[in-house]
Amino acid sequence: MAKVLGKGLEALIRNYKDDQNNQDLILIEQIVVNQHQPRKYFDDKQLKNLTKSIKKNGILQPLTVRKIGGNKFELIAGERRLRSAKAAGISHVPVFIISINNLAEMMEYALIENIQRVNLNPLEEAEGYLVLKEKYNFTQEKIALSVSKSRSEIANKLRILNLPEIIRKGLLNNKIYYAHARSLLSVKKEKLMITIYNKIVKNKLSIRQTESLIMGLKNKRSSKTKANAFLNEEEILTAKLGTKVVIKSDKKNGKITISFTSKKELQQIMEKIT
């Protein structure tokens, strides 16, 4: 029997043990994939592990669907389980059939379910919020209430969509963490931001190391005693080489000073330059 979408996470996210008698069993071929699924990236290792679990134990948490006519059901939540069930050769799957009034409600449900079960990649999460905001006119306050997060968290997630494409792809592919992305947002110049991003990925910088690097660049920029003529060049070289770089010049000549603390660090700098 179809359920009406209720308010609050407890009404949205059903518990298998408490709700076993209210589920239905349908053919897997009857399920049509949800085109509004916020999750775009599926980890192969996680899918393989889930497939093994389903082969051994079955689907412990029913999928959530809605009736769309023609004896078909549209998937609202549970695409990882659906993919793994197909890979496991399962013919019938347990489902919760719910009634949804509009696409905004369906998007909200899918987004909440994904966040609660296996965290969405921060970029996918942000894109889901953007759809709710731009297409369905959700305010940041309403989104925050729907997913039980603060309004400031929603705002910060939306901001990462403004990052350069190479950084967004890096975040989507887990080359950097969300905290890295938030730190990079404080860098105003895109070219420098990308340079720092490449350094994070290449040298596997921690969050703290990234924050220290960016803070050092900010402090240098804010220094009143600093000659501003080559400030941008110093910032780029500092980020590129991973060490302090000072550029000085007079009317006739210029000099670049690259600092290092050990022979090993010097060798690393030489490799980067050559």
- Residues with a known catalytic role: 79
Question: Is the CA virtual torsion 2, 4, 6, 12 positive or negative?
Answer: positive
Partners of residue 158 on adjacent β-strands: none
In angstroms, the CA 91 to CA 17 distance is: 22
Question: Is the CA virtual torsion 190, 183, 166, 244 positive or negative?
Answer: positive
Partners of residue 98 on adjacent β-strands: 3
Contact assessment for residue 210 and residue 196, using Cβ atoms and an 8 Å cutoff: yes
- Give the other-Cβ count within 10 Å of 160's Cβ: 20
Q: Are strands 24-27 and 245-249 parallel, antiparallel or unpaired?
A: unpaired
Q: Is 73 exposed, middle or buried (0-12, 13-18, 19+ CB in 10 A)?
A: buried
Partners of residue 64 on adjacent β-strands: 77, 96
Question: Nearest CA to 6 among 95, 79, 88, 108?
Answer: 108
Q: Say how many CA atoms lie within 13 Å of 43 toward its Cβ.
A: 11
In angstroms, the CA 206 to CA 81 distance is: 33
